[in-house]
Structure 1
Amino acid sequence: MTQLRVLIVDDEPLARARLNRQLTAIDNCTPVGEAADTEAAIMQVQILDPDLVLLDIEMPGGSGLELAQQLSTRDCPPAVIFCTAHDEFALPAFSTTAVGYLLKPVNVEQLRQAVEKAQRLCKPQQKLLDKKDGEEPHGRSRIKAVSRRGVELLEVDTIRCLVADSKYVVAHHLAGETILDESLKELESEFGERFVRVHRSALVAAEHIIGLRRDGSHFRIELEGVAEAPLVSRRMLPSVKALITEIC
């Protein structure tokens, strides 16, 4: 599993030290830096490009909520887990892209669960990252599709994403778009080592991902060779980020 690089942001030195100790006990997790206020945190994020930020909310010089919103505007934002002494901020905290909200004093087991949530890759993504060089992908090399032109055989290697649209699935490929009569679930089951889920209605060809871009309050994943850029769900954003870190 991917090593998660973590930045700790808290104005209390003892709180930072406690989180640092707890992180060292969590597998696949590496503390890479600390900051005592939001200004220093922004600089550290720019320098270190962490995968995860453990973030206090009430700090001198700026709110952790404001910092989380600012971080979410980055092209490839870190995941955020709030660590705070105040429970009244939970609702506004989850209006950001936060993946966790822990109350101080932070319990190491709760921290472990929150970190694992942030670092967890879905099974198809993990299979892709663990796949040995030269291993042949599973599944058909061509998919049969029926159109007004008759029966087409669509090369799977040319497909960049599969998007559910009403009762159909549209394959976006190098030559255009083709409607398939198979469900997204069926296609994921067969091609899960090559196509990863980024949204409940979209699978993308992992090896053809070229990046993330912000679209208002959402993110879209950009793919080589096609204009279609599927939405990434908030739930899947941390795992998509981790995947892009590995393959890009």
Structure 2
Amino acid sequence: MRVVIVDDEPLARERLKRLLSEFPGYEVVGEAGDGESALDVIDDEEPDLVLLDIRMGGMDGIQVARQLAELEVPPAVIFTTAYSEHALSAFDAAAQAYLLKPIRVDKLKEALMRVRKPTRAHKPAPVAAPIPGGKPKREFVLATNRDGLVRVPAEDIIYFLADQKYTTVKHLHGEVLIEESLKTLEQDFAPWFIRIHRKALVATRFIAGLERDRHGDQHHWLRMKHASDPLPVSRRRLAEVRRFLTDV
């Protein structure tokens, strides 16, 4: 079972790794010290289980868990915290278990037994997105600015970029902010758009090319026509983007 550990205290993460090493079949594939980084690591690594602290600077563990619950195949979540008062919120966020620090081996074992179920690898793969060529459900987005209501046609939209509560709509004539999730936008604007990152949804007609990170690491970026800044491509989406570019 692939595991990601999220805690703002490095020593707490090390302790959890030591405890997990006592149980065969668990591999720590990533760790993070804050909520935003956690979502990026989880997006890249696709773990089966997340051990998640609650109180962290910025996005807390409850918020992270709620975002994970929206995934098509969400990982199991075990909260690890020093505070018992968050238990109700934790289970509302679809947590499978709630462990109080300092975490005991026997309690961790109980929690792991509770979530030991078919992992991502054993679940059916999601149905592939329809081949571009059809029409999306929606033909435009509506946004509000100082001048009132703005209607942006789907054919003018270059990409959607999510950031916490808001989503930026980059289009041929500028950009606007809307309060819609990428999950909804992805469903409504298929097959004209593809997901390249948990935060980014791009119009296939405006894709200019794929490039390696300019600093020489393993990250990839997508260049878009009519947009100056490239967009990050997550590792889990890279194969899909490459397939699209090959088929064009």
Normalised to the residue count of structure 2, the TM-score between the two structures is 0.48
Normalised to the residue count of structure 1, the TM-score between the two structures is 0.48
Report 1 or 2 for greater relative contact order, CA contacts < 8 Å, sequence distance ≥ 6: 1
